[in-house]
Structure 1
C-alpha cells in the first residue's frame, strides 16, 4: 500500500510458508532484472507486486486475475477478502484453537473478533469431541489403545520418529482425525 496504515497494529510481521517465500524471491529476482533493463523508466515504490514499470497494481486487476483462477479451477466465487477468512479459519483449526496465535497472524485488534467471527470452527470441534466421548465411553470404542492395555496392538502400530521431528507435535497432529485424513490423502498422491 502507498498510504499510512490506519493503526500501529496494521504493521505486522507475517510468517509465510517456504513455498510462498520462494515465489516472492523469484518475483523479486525478475523485478530486479526488469529494473536494471528499464533504468530510470522504472518507478520504484518498493512494492512486492507491481506493474512492469514499478507502479502499484490496481485492485480491479487483482480481482480479474483471481476470477480467472476461480473460473479455470472451478472454484466457488469468492471475493479477495475471503482469502483472509479462509486463512484464519484454517489456522484456528490447525492450531487446535490457539486464538492468540491466530489473532497475532490476522492482527485483529481484539481476540473476541476471532472468537465471534470464527467461533463456529471451534463449535464444530466441540461437537466432534462430544461424539468421540460418546464413542469411547458409551459405545466402548477403543480410541486409545492404552485405555485397555492393548500392548500388542500398540507395538504393531508404532513407528520410528525421524530425527529432528518433534514427536509430541507429530502425535498432536496425527491425533486430529481431519489432519490424519489429510496426510493419508496426501501420502496416496
Structure 2
C-alpha cells in the first residue's frame, strides 16, 4: 500500500539514501544489492534483533522509556486519533481493512483523554441544569 509521508520523513529518507549509496560505493562488489531501503552495513536484510537492539540503545540514550519498536505503531495510531484524524484514515494508514481493529487494538485512552471526557460531561450537566 502507499501512504503519504510527512515532509520531514521524506527529507530523512533522502539523507539516508545518500549515506546508503556512499556505503555501497565504498564496499564495491561486497555490497549485497537487494534494493532495500533499510539494510545492514553490507546491503543485506536487517535482522529483527539488530533493529530491536539498536532501537533500545537509541531510546536509552534519549532518556525515554524503552519500548518495543512495534509499540510506536500503537503510539502513532493513538496520537493521530487524539489529533482528530478520522478513524478510517488511521486504519488505512495502518493497513487495516476494518476500522474496528484500529480502534480496539491500536488506539489507547490516555489519562488526559479521560480528564477531557469528564470535563465535557461536567459541562453538559451544568448546561442542562
Number of equivalent positions: 125
Aligned pairs (5 A) from 1:103-142: 103-117=91-105, 118=107, 120=109, 124=114, 126-134=117-125, 137=127
Give, in whole Å, the separation in 2 of the partners of 1:69 and 1:128: 37
Alpha carbons of 1:134 and 1:110: their partners in 2 closer, same or farther (altered >3 Å)?
same
**Who is 2:66 aligned against?**
77
Rg (Cα) greater in structure: 1
Are 1:102 and 2:90 matched, yes or no?
Answer: yes
CA distance in 1, matches of 2:18, 2:94: 28
Q: Distance in 1 between matches of 2:65 and 2:13?
A: 26
Query: Is 1:21 the counterpart of 2:10 in the alignment?
Result: yes
CA-based RMSD: 2.4
SS at match of 1:70: helix
CA contact (8 A) 2:78 2:108 kept: no
Once the two structures are TM-superposed, the CA of residue 63 in structure 1 deviates from its matched residue by 1.0
- SS of residue matched to 1:88: helix
State the partner residue of 1:66.
Answer: 55
Deviation at 1:126, TM superposition (A): 4.1
Structure 2, unpaired ranges of 5+: none
How big is each residue's C-alpha offset from its partner over 1:47-75, in whole Å with a ceiling of 9 and x where there is no partner?
11112210111111111111112222222
Instruction: Give the structure, 1 or 2, with the largest relative contact order (CA under 8 Å, sep 6 or more).
Output: 2
Q: What are structure 1's unaligned runs of at least 5 residues?
A: 1-11, 140-189
Deviations along 1:132-163, one digit per CA (max 9) or x if unpaired, are 4346x379xxxxxxxxxxxxxxxxxxxxxxxx
Mapped partners of 2:7, 2:128: distance in 1: 44
Cα pair distance change 1:34/1:98, threshold 3 Å? same
* TM-score normalised to structure 2 length: 0.81
Query: Residues 50, 97 of structure 1: CA spacing in aligned structure 2 closer, same or farther, 3 A cutoff?
Result: closer
